[in-house]
Amino acid sequence: MMRFGAIVAFGLCCCFSYGVVGGGSGPIQTFVIPHSHMDVGWVYTVQESMHAYAANVYSSVTEELSKQKDRRFIAVEQEFFRLWWDAVATDTHKKQVRQLVKEGRLEFIIGGQVMHDEAVTDLDDQVLQMTEGHGFLYETFGVRPQFSWHVDPFGASATTPVLFALAGFNAHLISRIDYDLKDDMQKNKKLQFVWRGSPSLKAQQEIFTHTMDQFSYCTPSYLPFSNRSGFYWNGVALFPDPPKDGVYPNMSLPVTKETVDAYAKTMVENIKRRAAWFRTNHVLWPWGCDKQFYNSSVQFSNMDPLMKYINQRSKEFGVTVQYATLSEYFQAIYQSNLTWDVRGSEDFLPYSTEPYKAWTGFYASRNVLKGVARKASSRLHAAEVLFTRYRISFPEGPVAKDWALDKLRPLRWAVSEVQHHDGITGTESPKVADMYLQHLTQAMMGVEELLAALFLLPHSVISPSILDRQYHRKGVHDAPEQHIIVYNPLAWNVTTLVNITVTFPSAAVMDDDGQPVPAQIQRSAQSNNTYDLFMMVELGGLQYRQYLIKFSGTSGSTKSGAYEAKGVWFERIRVKDWVKTGRRLLPVLSGCYRLMFDEDTNLLHSITHLQDKRTVMMTQDFWQYNANGDVKVGPISDNYIFSTNASAVRAYQAVEMEIIPGKIVAEIRQYFYREESDKDYAYSITTRVPECFRARLPCHRLEQTYSLGPLSLNTEVVLRTSSSVKNNQTLYTDDNGYRMMRRTYRKFTNNTLARNYFPMVRTAYIEDDLSRLVLLSDRAHGVSSQAEGQLEVMLHRRLWNNLPWNLGYNLTLNDSSVIQPILWMMFGPVVVTSKLYQRGAVELQHRPVIMPIDQPQMPWLEKEPRRSSPVQCVVLPPNLHLLSLSIPGWKYSSNHDIHLGHLNSSQNLHSDPDYDRVLLRIMHLFEEGEDPELSKPVTINLKDALQGLGEVRLLEERSLTGTWNITSLQRWKWKTADNQEKMMKQFPKSDKDFTVTISPKQIRTFFVHFGFSNS
């Protein structure tokens, strides 16, 4: 995605000569890299793009590369290629592609399903989409991408280089960083460096990083001798249909005897200008842009003679040119043997292109899509783990393995797809957002079918199916009842509350042993016709249990039933009446906190951490930034950009409150009215304070659900938590849920407010010497600390503007949705919260799965007595997280030589998915030195740790995406100024030794084979 006519803008000055160039001797060696930037979404749906141009890219590139040996092309995002390969490519095309890949002339770069966003994507999903693409490429061609091309994500995270290093990459390429920072790096020849993205892993997972210069990934298009764009001989793609005559708009002036010299001088001058910004005499010259090479014939037939002309005059021009892949360019840089500066664990977020264009708005754009994407990811994880467990314990069970894989694959694809840098970012057109949502929801429905089958069908001979039990009616006068299953998809024991919406005012809950379960029921916050039933569940790691709910239509009629909580209403208070406040305070207590609510405002007043008796003043309410929508008036906000000329204003004029005391949870509901007399509230906060039932229920988190929308047009609404924490406006936010980044408030000449917004994927906190205030999120948001003690989260945006570019592509973000995001709040001493927030963020992402077995109905009685057969637990140490446990179903052999032999043979010797190979990833959650105990390396015997699943027979350590055996992975070692020892490889002791040590922030990946049960 290239915005605002940047193709032309980037090239305006390319005709000026800058004389002295790069650091090498001899002519400048130019690597012309043909590519097409193919957004998986953005303005057009995947189907529209495939029809209009994407399929033609791969067909025509394949045909044209096969005609001449010196031609090259890099393929970046795999979704379009896989669609072409499966549905469009002919047998001839496939044969040609295999040969081109074998010769290294068609090169797969990044290799993921998409070029993922780096600001608002979660670690789990970045790894998934890379694994999906890498598995396909390795299975199909035996190749493993070793270089990145992250040219379009809006800023660069420090997590990405770590993940690429773990996947076996030798070099990383980025482009979009702050305009003023890039200017400075260009002037000082600092665009290339060795990046150590993790302060804990340090040089273990460093990677050489190339930052594209100001011309970015598109070929400079300005021609001093023509009013047409240059170097884009196939023109601009047409939607919805390609032109029948093959004539596209804006096709560049052809290269002829009359124009070749002018073209050559234009190209050479641009090459020399770029060379002056780098240390070697090797220049990377991207040839292409968005939606290019759909007619590769006209592209190459013009560039071929142009490059020949330049090379014939290389002494005169001081330049040589050659078609190249990215690996050929990086190989030349590596062989230069220079010593490179080291960049530490800083990231390149946020990102600005101009003084008033801070790309911080997309952190909160399309909140619904962000929420559905994360929910889909969580449900996929739950289903992957459960199917793997089923497959290990009951390989010949009634849930067919091929059927199960057919249910999982669409959700893997959909979750991968939406990680695109114009997907989960919310920067796409409405029809593309609808496409993502449709793919996610349809795929989730399939996975729900799979979960139901895995829960309800038998797991062993001695454990009959729930569906097979024989029942009979007890009597028509009995109250209805319902069975549900609650499943913990994490490898930790959890005690938590789950909430079920029911239509009865009274209920009792029993577990699968017939024992009563602590529960509470109350009128629903969402509807007067329903009730919220809270039940306390205690589940072992990867365990699920069945619960029975007995309902009654009359309050107080169930013996040993759920506590029936009643609310207390507090009258609506107008903001203008807040004259004297803090006089009437209402305490709400838990085992960890005392919250005080102010009857004079109906807002939170203060919070006390009971263990150390530390109290801070604290309020939470909604504020809004009023956006400009007229480009003639000033800077605008849109899908991408947050721009404001003024501070936020209060988004409400009155507040109501209801407090519902309970025995296992107290609930505070606050309703905010846009106008004093409005009938309906505009925003709400529902805070749930656990009562720490018999000290079993964790009390350290306060669970908050918000409701916002529809917003007024051109408003951007934030939740502002204001406290007496003395944080000096310093904020900490997570990079992709992997690690925390310190965000110091910076002042700029222009746009200071917007440039101090940062992405929050899972976690944000502020702190002082005594306390830390933490917010954990179920989806990505923008976050800032605009004043001392403030933690401001942008939750929702609704915008329209008259910028022709936005109007033309329908990118104005007129989002009228109602959203209900969730945040968990923690407060306490740093030493306490540092032990809790990492695990809390994971627990919020992967909350227990609740599956009703039936609808409320008259009770049935089992003829046979209940035989409880609980699923065995799998529990990891508290600082280790089971990141992945799945059966990918890849067809390739884990032995690289054997796999290549299969690919090169005429017979297809390995065509069935491997259902016995389990992909396991374990991650250390803590940074080095973060906690005295939990930051220590953990040595664990995986055979013992996983015995709840089955007997581990074989363990093989692999690269992050599984395509490399770690013993054969040898990444390039780049010379750095500090000469820090490079530890690029981790060797397992042997396949028979199941003991591994996992150091802070490590992610270790394994193929595991289990001994299957004979049942």
Active-site amino acid positions? 152
Max Cα–Cα distance, the chain, nearest Å: 100
Residues with Cβ within 8 Å of residue 383, at least 6 apart in sequence: 407, 408, 411, 447, 450, 451, 454
Per-residue tokens: 558: 């169930």
Contact between 746 and 756 under an 8 Å Cβ cutoff? The reply is yes
Q: What sign does the CA torsion over 418, 420, 424, 429 have?
A: negative
DSSP code of residue 168: T
| Whole-number Å distance between alpha carbons of 261 and 274 | 20
Q: Is 550 exposed, middle or buried (0-12, 13-18, 19+ CB in 10 A)?
A: buried
Q: Nearest CA to 651 among 582, 597, 709?
A: 709
Per-residue tokens: 570: 């507090």
| Whole-number Å distance between alpha carbons of 787 and 745 | 9
In sequence order, what are the beta bridge partners of 849? 487
| Whole-number Å distance between alpha carbons of 799 and 717 | 11
Contact between 495 and 537 under an 8 Å Cβ cutoff? The reply is yes
Provide the 3-class DSSP secondary structure of residue 905.
coil
Contact between 717 and 626 under an 8 Å Cβ cutoff? The reply is no
Contact between 508 and 559 under an 8 Å Cβ cutoff? The reply is yes
Per-residue tokens: 341: 């500066």
Instruction: For 390, list phi and psi in degrees, rounded to 5.
Output: -60, -45
In whole angstroms, how far apart are CA 45 and each of 57, 366, 416?
Answer: 17, 17, 15
Question: What is the C-alpha end-to-end distance of the chain, expressed in Å?
Answer: 54
State yes or no: cis peptide before 505, omega within 30 of 0.
no
Amino acid making up residue 480: P
DSSP per position, 768-817? -SS-EEEEEESS-EEEE--STTEEEEEEEEE-----HHHHHHT-S-----
Name the residue with tokens 């600082």. Answer: 879
Per-residue tokens: 272: 């020399």
In whole angstroms, how far apart are CA 763 and each of 641, 823, 875, 999?
Answer: 22, 9, 24, 22
Provide the 3-class DSSP secondary structure of residue 764.
strand
DSSP per position, 257-294? TTTHHHHHHHHHHHHHHHHTTSSSSEEEEEE--BT--T
Neighbours of 392 (CB within 10 A): 23
Q: Nearest CA to 718 among 665, 651, 794, 643?
A: 794
Neighbours of 515 (CB within 10 A): 8
In whole angstroms, how far apart are CA 381 and each of 140, 350, 486, 602, 1003?
Answer: 25, 30, 15, 40, 17
In sequence order, what are the beta bridge partners of 790? 722
Q: Is 804 exposed, middle or buried (0-12, 13-18, 19+ CB in 10 A)?
A: exposed
| Whole-number Å distance between alpha carbons of 254 and 833 | 65
